[in-house]
Structure 1
Amino acid sequence: MKKILSLCLLLTFLIGCKDNQSKSEGLEATVSEIKSEELPITAQIANANGMEKFNELDELNFTFNVKVNDTLRSNRAWKWFPKTKKVELTEKGETISYTQGDSLTENALAADQKFINDSYWLLFPYQLMWSDFESTYNEKGISPISNEEMKMLTVSYKGKGGYSPDDSYHIFFGEDNMIKEWTYVSSTGRELTTTWEDYETFKGIPIAKMHKSADSSFQLYFTDIKFK
């Protein structure tokens, strides 16, 4: 159990830390002009999760929380202005602001690592359009928590850069292309499996507010969500 808990805490700072800028340019041209069934599965997932609506947003506010055995381990409040790439973090009573793409100070770089992690959990379906990876799609797979048959997509970064290269994700989703469960695998083979649940729609964007392990000892969840 100690090994599992230490892994979970480590992963909250490592999971998904990729360079999410590599494909973000030019994405305002909507893919909805193509019939949905003709799109790659990655684009279908992004569209099902309201990617077009995201391009209309000026500001996103959310708080990232992690509990392990009912003890709150992380609590970070974010303000994100995607059009200007400005980011603001409030944590432990202190606030830091920076602009992505600038030459970052040591403190801003540490904040940006946390932001990439937290926003990955919030909007991972969009990373299927924003970032570079290798993928394998299977129409049938067995989900790791519910043991239900679902669609399965494996995404591997293979040393593409960012804050934690060489990790991968096994994503399990339904006919509606909404993620239900996933397993994160680090470059060293360590794993974290959680649900994607408690979906709520904000400005046309569905957000899974809760992610938890099979025994609920690990819970990662979002509060104070406001999209403007």
Structure 2
Amino acid sequence: MRKVVLLIVIAVVSIACKNEAKKEVVQKETISEKYPKALAAVFDKHGGIDNWQKMKTLSYTLKNEEHTTDLHSRKTVINAKEYSLGFDGKDVWVSDTSVYKKDAKFYYNLYFYFYTMPFVLADDGIVYSETKPLEFEGKKYPGFKISYNENVGSSPDDNYFIYYDETTNEMSWLAYTVTYHSKKVSNKKSIIRYNDWQNVNGFLLPKSLTWYKKHENGNPTEPAREPTKFVLPLLSEASFDADFYVKPTK
């Protein structure tokens, strides 16, 4: 039902935007001044940071769950047949803890970060540094290490490593470490391949992601499991009222 509501909101806002387009003057920031030049080129290839920042609502279906996120506040709702969970801007909530028994605080934005690569790597509080290229099937992919300033997010000691195709500027791989549960700095990296893209309202977003096994030298070798697929993606300049992200009363 919420997907239908989102579609209606998108249609209304699209008409309004067309009517106001001639009146609006957009002041663009030169992203090369804020991000490393090569990373800025990756952002541009995928639709551009300036354009991304105009978007307000993202929705997609993952397995049996419908995920909806406010891109500015990061409020989230995940709806499934037997449960729902979300983040209302202050607290993470679960509709029925007898049905959903996983760690909602860890899960509610987990796939949001993977799905919104590379744009989520333009968040505030990020420190960029070059890292050793990743190699797969004889091809090298240059990359950047993404670390966070203290007190940024729930796991500021997490690190991401983005690798890109220097010919096309498309994002190709993501390596990452997880410190959420242990709260200890980790050097153990997981690797995801990004090679299945689709155009969503002018942006290149992943249609599927594939986790890979890796060699002892850290380079990927072969898929670790079946791809994780994202379907029915919607991206809009429309936004929902705050009540949309509040825990249901029944």
Q: Could you report, residue by residue, the CA deviation over 1:197-217 in whole angstroms, capped at 9, with x for unpaired residues?
A: 111111111012222114323
User: Which residue number corresponds to residue 216 of structure 1?
Assistant: 223
Pairwise CA distance, 1:85: 5.0
User: Which residue number corresponds to residue 174 of structure 2?
Assistant: 182
**TM-score w.r.t. length of structure 2:** 0.61
Contact 1:53–1:204 (Cα < 8 Å) also in 2: no
- Aligned residue identity for 2:118: P
Q: Could you report, residue by residue, the CA deviation over 1:105-152 in whole angstroms, capped at 9, with x for unpaired residues?
A: 5538x64542322111011222222132332225x7233x43412221
**Residues 1:76 and 2:74 aligned together:** no
Q: CA, structure 1 residues 147+37, in 2 after alignment: closer, same or farther (shift >3 Å)?
A: farther
Aligned pairs for 1:42-53 (under 5 A) are 42-50=39-47, 51-53=49-51
User: Which residue number corresponds to residue 94 of structure 2?
Assistant: 107
Pairwise CA distance, 1:227: 1.9
Taking the aligned partners of 2:142 and 2:133, their CA distance within structure 1 comes to 6
Larger RCO of the pair (alpha carbons < 8 Å, separation 6+): 1
- Aligned residue identity for 1:211: L
**Residues 1:95 and 2:68 aligned together:** no
**TM-score w.r.t. length of structure 1:** 0.66
Aligned pairs for 1:18-37 (under 5 A) are 30-31=28-29, 34=30
Q: Could you report, residue by residue, the CA deviation over 1:44-80 in whole angstroms, capped at 9, with x for unpaired residues?
A: 3333322333233343211235xxxxxxxxx532122
- Aligned residue identity for 1:178: E
Q: CA, structure 1 residues 38+129, in 2 after alignment: closer, same or farther (shift >3 Å)?
A: closer
Taking the aligned partners of 2:73 and 2:146, their CA distance within structure 1 comes to 28
**Residues 1:56 and 2:49 aligned together:** no
User: Which residue number corresponds to residue 21 of structure 1?
Assistant: none
Q: CA, structure 1 residues 172+147, in 2 after alignment: closer, same or farther (shift >3 Å)?
A: farther
Taking the aligned partners of 2:143 and 2:186, their CA distance within structure 1 comes to 22
Taking the aligned partners of 2:195 and 2:171, their CA distance within structure 1 comes to 8
SS at match of 1:197: coil
Contact 1:63–1:78 (Cα < 8 Å) also in 2: yes
Pairwise CA distance, 1:96: 3.7
Q: Could you report, residue by residue, the CA deviation over 1:158-181 in whole angstroms, capped at 9, with x for unpaired residues?
A: 654423331212221022332111
Aligned pairs for 1:158-173 (under 5 A) are 159-173=150-164
User: Which residue number corresponds to residue 12 of structure 1?
Assistant: none
**Which sections of structure 1, spanning at least 5 residues, go unmatched?**
1-27, 66-74
Taking the aligned partners of 1:38 and 1:190, their CA distance within structure 2 comes to 29
SS at match of 1:163: coil
User: Which residue number corresponds to residue 129 of structure 1?
Assistant: 122
Taking the aligned partners of 2:204 and 2:231, their CA distance within structure 1 comes to 14
